[in-house]
Chains A and B, each alone.
Chain A
Amino acid sequence: MAKIIVITSGKGGVGKTTTSAAFASGLALRGYRTVVIDFDVGLRNLDLIMGCERRVVYDLINVIQGEAKLQQALIKDKRCENLYVLPTSQTRDKDALTTEGVTAVMDELRKEFDYIVCDSPAGIESGALMALYHADEAIVVTNPEVSSVRDSDRILGILAARSRRAELGEEPVKEHLLLTRYSPKRVEDGEMLSLGDVKELLRTPLLGVIPESEVILQASNQGIPAIHMENSDVAEAYKDVVARFLGEERPLRFIQPVKVGFFKRLFGG
């Protein structure tokens, strides 16, 4: 049975799309048939991050409105055998997403895939509600700052109240916290909330910590999911996240400031 995972946050710019791309790629690298869906209608970004923007012909909205078959809209990822991207429309707005349409697409995808990753838009309006409605599990992406934590708290409340599982009175959506853009140095300097602070405020099981890194920017600009950036701490952190999601034990990494050695400090890096 396919599992539907929503990547959400409430706040924008915290790393939902980056995480969706890296996480879906990571699942596919593990051999699972995976599809990642862009729900941010009108602000199409996932295809850019996945590096398939020039191959978009049909999109989710075309499928919902019956203008294309699902198979025509699914784009096969060029790096992973088992990964497909379902892009969204750049020209329509979020009202083009209908509950029935999304449900029909989800039902069809369930038959084909092991994991369905939904990249939610920011905010708490209909697009975000559509993205989280069918979720079995949710990864709430949070930055270590007060407003992001506050918005994540809000979206956790909405998950508990407005998802399909909540409406049907089934077992609640399984929640995971993913802390992104974490800079241990700035936490030490008191500029950022610490991991402990965020855990204490949200009280949601931690799936992982992704360090703040320039590699993310390079990856986005090149259209490469960050998990493919070999030898980077970001790629390693996302691999840990996927492993933990699949039930493996992995110690947290990249949460201590890097100690700068005496000579490096003396002569510069």
Chain B
Amino acid sequence: MVNPGTESSAPLRVAGGVFTLSILHLESNNPQQLAQRIAEEYRRHPAAADFHRHAPVVLDLSAIPEEAPLALPEILEVLRAAHWFPVGLRNAAPGHQALAQALHLPVLRGQERNAAPQPETPPPAQTVPANPGGLIIDHPIRGGQRNYARGGDLVCLAAVNAGAEIMADGNIHVYGPLRGRALAGVNGQETARIFCMSLEAELVSVAGLYRTLEPGYPLWGKAAQIYSRDEQLHITALNL
């Protein structure tokens, strides 16, 4: 408290956070069956009971048909009786989402529900480009510009200037000087690498590991590759 008893002028602190939660895939809309399944599980693996005790859990409803009635209060009761903390729903049909809202249970996003259980439809005709997600850029990338190769490699045949940002789910190759920021493996691919002909980057990152660089760096201005190994970022000279 800054000033007990008086109104604080500081704004309310609201910040984003990322949490890992367990997801329970609901097999049917029958609460009794769920109770039975949990009891079986705990009998078979007594340790699981301890593990799940007081664990927050998200219910995945993708297996529940849209028109099926859902006894959500009873299902939540079963979970609580088994010492779980249901914190949200996902992949719920619109009707089920309304139920959750009535119970003040958040509907979480991610992995959207398919419109209907898909009867084996053939994959849509070849709409995939020859180079899926790859991006080749043949002009300088200027300060303030951002390029992202989603699902593939990014190749830049010119300079990446200070203040520019290039990102790729795969590898990054820069054949001009790399002076901006380069982030490879941004979707978590740890085997991604950055290759450049002149390392002058402000920041390099592979799969979330990053470091900043200064002009005094030993490989400054040299051809280099950047990769991740054992949770560490390695920068080595490209001696070809």
User: Chain A: residues with CB nearer than 8 A to chain B?
Assistant: 150, 153-154, 156-158, 160-161, 201, 203
Contact = CB atoms under 8 A, between A and B. Distances in A.
B163 interface: yes
Contact of B144 (A157, A201, A203): A157
A158 B145 CA distance: 8
Interface in B138-179: 139-145, 158-159, 161-164, 176
A201 B161 contact: yes
A125 B141 CA distance: 20
Nearest to A146: B162
Given A158-B144, A161-B145, A203-B158, A153 B139 contact: no
A157 B159 contact: no
A160 B161 CA distance: 14
Interface of B: 139-145, 158-159, 161-164, 176
Contacts of A156: 140, 142
B139 A154 contact: no
B159 A203 contact: yes
Contact of B163 (A153, A158, A161): A153
A153 B158 contact: no
The SS class assigned to the A binding surface is helix
Contacts, number: 30
Nearest to B162: A150
Contact of B143 (A153, A161, A203): A153
Contacts of A157: 141-145, 164
Contacts of B159: 203
Nearest to B161: A153
Nearest first, the 4 A-B pairs at minimum CB distance are A157-B142, A153-B143, A157-B145, A154-B143
A150 B180 CA distance: 11
A156 B141 CA distance: 9
A26 to B, nearest CB: 28
A32 B163 CA distance: 39
Kindly name the residue among A154, A158, A161 whose own CB sees the greatest number of chain B CB atoms within 10 A. A154
Given A157-B144, A203-B159, 17 more contacts: A150-B143, A150-B163, A153-B142, A153-B143, A153-B161, A154-B143, A156-B142, A157-B141, A157-B143, A157-B145, A157-B164, A158-B144, A160-B139, A160-B142, A203-B140, A203-B158, A203-B176
